[in-house]
Structure 1
Amino acid sequence: MRSHYFSGEDIDEALRNTSITPFAEAEMRVRGWRISVAPETTIDSSGNVTDIQGRVGVETDTRIGTIGVEGRLGSQAVGDDPLGGIQGGISLIFTPGRPPERRSRCDRRRVTLVENIRYECQQERDIPAQQVTRTREVERQQERTRFLYFDYATSRINNSLSASSLGELSVDLSEGFRVSSIRGFTSPEGPREAGVRFQGNEQLSRERAEAGVSQVQELCAREGIGNCFAASADISGQGELYTLETLTGEEVERPQQAEFAATEFTTQQQEEMHRTPGLTRRLERARTPDERADIVYPLLRRAAITLTRTQRVTESFTEEIPARIERRDILGGCPPDIIQSAFPQARISP
């Protein structure tokens, strides 16, 4: 086809005259004989078989050389018959010269095998499961909440009500506690939104939270502490506590509001530390909603200061140890009676 291309002839004509001859070859060895088989088929560009050839050979190596026989069988197309021209032949093959022999060199030597039996013994002891008390160092986060109380409708701290809390807060800060949040609150008295002469309880709760910040900073300076606030401390006003509203969202004032707030105060978990036995008896003796409000409302005008501290502490814990088998070697080797019991036929040298 390359000659057609360089001679300038038609490429299509060259392709039409192209033929393909696929072939395969296999070789087997059986007891010194080599058997080879090689079929091949020629196909023209139209996919028609034009020639079939096959070869089978057998040869072996002898002292004088390699001898063998090879048979060929083939056919060329005659007209439309691809097997029209069958032809074949047999050839004898002889290649002089003896192939080199490969000898394996094996040295002989005499060895003596001596029986040497060694017995090893271990003592086993079953140890049952048990519980062991141990200690470990762990980090624990402690949290405390202190309350500052304020005068009616102001952000001025009520020192009489807040005296014990201020002392506890000072001790907490000196022991490493840091403020993580300050939340300001108001009682449900008065409007939530600002009026002519009142800033409203929403704003008042924020001012009480800021007053709590100022009080903590003052205590820190007094104790010589650089910073008493956690990095992400939350300072916020939370508005009124225990507000009674109508279905339309309007605030209900005294006496229903006072009765509702007193009831909530006696049931809410966050008021648990305020419900001392003495205060509970005072509420029980109060006869009117206004009397109960006079007891509860001063405790709702407040700022809740939450402090946290992380400490390493030693704690006890119980470790479960599963059952196990303990093994140890027997000093001096295996006792003869144990060997004899395990291997009755064993001969034990004295």
Structure 2
Amino acid sequence: MKKVWITLAVIIGFFIALHFLLEPIVERLVNKQLNSLEHYSGKIDDVDIHLYRGAYRIKGIELNKRGSDIDQPFVSIDTLDLSVQWDALFDGRIVGEVILSEPVVNMVVTQNVEGDTTQEQTGTDEDWTEQIQELMPLTINRFEIRNGNITYRDPSVDPNVDAYLRNLDLVAENISNVKDSVDKLPSSLKASAVTIGDGTIDLDMKMNLLNSIPEFKADLELSSVDLTQLNDFIKAYAKFDVQEGTFTLITEITVEDKQISGYIKPFFENLDVFSLKEDLDEGSFFRKIWEALVGAGAELLENQPNDRVATEVPIEGSLDNPQPDVPATIWNVFRNAFVDAIEKEFGRQSKGGDA
């Protein structure tokens, strides 16, 4: 019996020693990996090893753009937890899960006074999926974000633009199809967040990320955004402001067999761009003319019984290029459909059609 206790004590002592030996080694490896990035430098505060659950936790991650004087880090993460996904063992696979707690992403685009030099901190110049995979020795099958925040700033325009998503929660499951589902889109992703203007955004996706060109079906709804809270953004880029109104966007996008299809339906409620009583007391004469024209366009677009501006335009596109930039292509198709939706509705309403 004494030998059993001695053996048990030796085993426990071994794992305790291994725990303390591994932490500084892993910390050095993580810092080395973060500093190997081409466009960003990184550091962490600490690493905790959890041998009992096959995991390690990185604390206090910070990434900064190299050669930039932007005053905020591109990414800061409270904790990044990388572990074995234990429930996947019942499906006969050893895979991993990644949990990001309270990540903050600061996207910044700014120009100098002359406007001939642009600094960008948007993250599009790195492959972040590859970087996370480098930190995870197992194939990632589950990915989660808890209480994330994303900001977008452009201090070079007047007024300064400061938009955000907050309270972002996201869960992607069965990424590697460990359940061997026969569904064409075996993986799922659900996300929700609060937007600038106190709106809400909800995303529900079915995906197949194992194809050379990923396929998916996405349903997204952006609801009840108070446009008056976006006035700095609107003034900076559209040169007018909104007195009243809310914005909602409903869209469905499918990518299948290298083809993009779906629809986009943006609509406005109770939109008031030009308030004669309030606006004539401030601003320039020419700005008032511009705001009046925009307001007249919105009036033409309105579904008069409920003060709603709405339309629906199909989304169509192709990913036929040998090495397509899938996110950029989808975004361009989406953006063009949004503009087309507004333009078509304007033309239809100005001819006397109904929304």
Q: Same fold (TM over 0.5)?
A: no
TM-score class normalised by the smaller sequence = under 0.3
Structure showing greater Rg: 1
Q: Give the TM-score taking structure 1 as reference length.
A: 0.19
Task: Give the structure, 1 or 2, with the largest relative contact order (CA under 8 Å, sep 6 or more).
Answer: 1
- TM normalised by structure 2 equals 0.19
